[in-house]
Amino acid sequence: MVFSDWVAASLQESSRQNFCIEAVKRWFRFLLGKYLRLKRINWQKETSCHGRARQMLFQRWSESLRQYNLIDYCLKERRRKINDFVRKLINFFERWDPEDFFKNMYEKRTYVSKTRFTKPLWDFIFNELKKKSYFLEDPESNITKRIYSARGEWVLQNADLPESSKLKLMHYIVDVKFDQSLILWHVATELCYQKEKEKEKEKEKEKEEIHEDSSSDNRQFCKEMSDYMLYLLVMQPTMMSAEARISEIRFRDTCAEATHFFNRKLDDHGQEQFDQEHEKACTRILEVNTEVEPVAVKGDKSKSVLFDACILAKELLKLREKRWSVMSEVWVEMLSYAASHCKPNVHAAQLNRGGELITFVWLLMAHFGLGDQFQRNTDDVRAKLIVGI
């Protein structure tokens, strides 16, 4: 608490006549920087030197999103030759480490990356939740419950799409569990993203002019939110699913099927060609004939959703110019659903470690009165957040 923003603010407003307070203030300026947290964050530039030091020493939010990509993970696992000693060491720690601390630390260093959290992405999330708040009625009304409990269906129901497309896309949200839906949309997003990149490269080769528009922003938003949500599902399961064990099995089965598929369809390349291998892997998945439902081919023993995601990706590719706007809104709805269904004490614990975007989304939802943990008085438009810790 000594290094909290409240202490810093009270010191800034205190009288200069007190010698002790003035000495402490000078020490604060030296350690944390002249402006502390009172200066607005400059979103367009990299974090300053004193900002990075503050994040490291005092568990500030890193202002970045951790990224975990299923296709990347499978390709790296396929190529990775782990030393026998390292493998035995990992197995040893797994026996004496019930919380999987060392395993998670290893996977974070190997498979997790970071991307800068930008102001345009935050504005997009903010505006999407703000639009939802306009539809709020009585907290007990059906429409209010539908809004804060939606995990993609609200967006699809109100999207300007053909009814046939809505029904096909809705199947991958309402007819499956949340963790399954998340993996489905994650893989489908990656397939569509790489398909678009491939088209852009072809245009560059043909020297065609590529126009930057809002769809490119939405495409990047989808990519970042998709990889971030999978990171939470895999590396922070307590924040995402009450049935963490089932989520892990579904993820591992999907990875196993993908790795087996890549072993049959991809040739070995050097490490410098990893990006090309990633694009080629996504292309090979999209080339699979999916006229027959995957469950009819492999049965229901495997929890893998790889080729179901391929079917979803093909449906999304049919949307053409509307694809990325719809997908980005679906991802915001999934993020807000996960935020509102995470236990409050888990959010509080994350704040102690610097915080996660999902927690800030939860607090933003409190600001707008979204969620079943909020109460509204009929004579007062303000929302009251109920936190049971």
Banded pLDDT at 382 (limits 50, 70, 90): very low
Averaged over 47-75, what is the pLDDT? 70
The residue with greater pLDDT, 149 or 46, is: 149
Model pLDDT, residue 301: 67
Give residue 138's pLDDT: 60
pLDDT average, residue stretch 142-153: 81
Q: Cα–Cα–Cα angle for 153, 154, 160, nearest 5°?
A: 95
Q: Which residue would you say has higher pLDDT here, 102 or 181?
A: 181
Higher pLDDT, 244 or 329: 329
pLDDT digits (tens, 9 = 90+) for 173-214: 999 999 999 999 999 999 999 998 888 777 776 666 555 556
Is the pLDDT score of 381 beyond 60?
no
The pLDDT, as a whole number, for residue 263 is 86
Question: Is residue 57 very low, low, confident or very high in pLDDT (cuts 50, 70, 90)?
Answer: very low
When comparing pLDDT for 353 and 84, which is higher? Answer: 353
Residue 222, pLDDT score: 96
The rounded percent of the chain whose pLDDT value lies above 70 is 64
**Are the CB atoms for 369 and 375 separated by under 8 Å?**
no
pLDDT tens per residue across span 352-362: 777 889 999 99
Stated pTM of the model: 0.79
The answer on pLDDT for 45 being more than 70 is: no
Q: What mean pLDDT do residues 59-63 have?
A: 73
Q: Residue 39: its pLDDT value, please?
A: 42
Query: How would residue 321 be classed by pLDDT, with cut points 50, 70 and 90?
Result: confident
Mean model confidence pLDDT for the chain:
77
Question: How many other C-beta atoms lie within 10 A of the C-beta of residue 375?
Answer: 11
**Torsion sign across C-alpha atoms 241, 116, 218, 320:** negative
Backbone torsions φ then ψ of 22, nearest 5 degrees: -65, -40
Residues in contact with 361: Cβ distance below 8 Å, sequence separation at least 6, in sequence order:
125, 129, 335, 336, 339
Per-residue confidence at 94, pLDDT binned at 50, 70, 90?
low
**Is 66's pLDDT higher than 90?**
yes
Distance CA 267, CA 262 (A): 8
